[in-house]
Chains A and B, each alone.
Chain A
């Protein structure tokens, strides 16, 4: 049926930087196995990695749920981090609050959220300061 889906769930850990990105890699592998075209796979991989790494860096981890449908992929990233006070500002290219020790690793260009927006067909951020952030993304499969 058209609303059947493959559902993948991941706990995104903030402790181990070495494994950061592993949820995105697992999703990419799964999509390739399903024979999804490489352009669509790349869009999902970029959007999900940026969201995953943001949870690691800015929110001490969280959870990722990925649902793969016939014609789209839904990604839900939820954390109980500090939240985003001004979402419009956070979405601006170049805006980043990443501290120096994180910038030294190559993060902090302020391009993650814009990349997520660019590589998805729908994106919605729900965030409450002090409570956490949930980001919904949808990528249509072509």
Chain B
């Protein structure tokens, strides 16, 4: 999976595209310090949080793409930060559950995904 394919899968709107990075997995959540430590690198981060701190967390955690769910759009500061840092951010009408579910199914079909042990 990569950002372009995910964008198509989620009928998403690209707000900023850096590199078309690989997407190996996903993470859902809005609390920044959960995402910071739990979002795997090369993941798609599904969230409705749209302020500039989302960019800092994504950069530091090596998130591949920020997926803003439920028609949320990035605020100006977040978008500017994404543009200046080359961070990808896309917007979808789907909820975090739906969008992550779609990614999960697509990756499962590619036989690229199994749940990590907990």
In angstroms, how far is the closest chain A Cβ from the Cβ of B53?
6
B53 lies within 8 A of A24 (CB): no
Stretch at the interface among A6-14, A38-46, A123-131: A38-46
Whether A138 is near chain B, meaning CB under 8 Å from some CB there, is no
User: Which residues of A in the span 84-111 have a Cβ within 8 Å of any Cβ on B?
Assistant: 105-109, 111
B59 lies within 8 A of A109 (CB): no
A115 lies within 8 A of B37 (CB): yes
Residue numbers in B under 8 Å from A28 (CB-CB): 59-60
The closest CB in chain A to the CB of B54 belongs to A106
User: Which residues of B in the span 6-54 have a Cβ within 8 Å of any Cβ on A?
Assistant: 30-34, 36-37, 41, 49, 51-54
- Interface size for B (C-beta < 8 A) is 21
A25 lies within 8 A of B60 (CB): yes
Q: A109-B32, A111-B34, A115-B36 are in contact. Are A42 and B56 (CB under 8 A)?
A: no
Residue numbers in A under 8 Å from B61 (CB-CB): 42, 45-46
Residue numbers in B under 8 Å from A118 (CB-CB): 37
The closest CB in chain B to the CB of A115 belongs to B37
Within 8 Å by CB of A106, from B32, B59, B60, lies B32
A50 lies within 8 A of B36 (CB): yes
Binary flags per residue of B39-83, CB closer than 8 Å to A gives 1, else 0: 001000000010111101101111000000000000001000100
Residue numbers in B under 8 Å from A76 (CB-CB): none
A85 to B62, CA, bound (A): 34
A115 to B57, CA, bound (A): 13
A115 lies within 8 A of B33 (CB): yes
In angstroms, how far is the closest chain B Cβ from the Cβ of A94?
11
In angstroms, how far is the closest chain A Cβ from the Cβ of B33?
4
Q: Most chain-B Cβ atoms within 10 A of its Cβ — which of A49, A107, A119?
A: A49
Residue numbers in A under 8 Å from B52 (CB-CB): 17-18, 20
A119 to B41, CA, bound (A): 15
Q: A18-B81, A42-B41, A42-B61 are in contact. Are A49 and B34 (CB under 8 A)?
A: no
Whether A21 is near chain B, meaning CB under 8 Å from some CB there, is yes
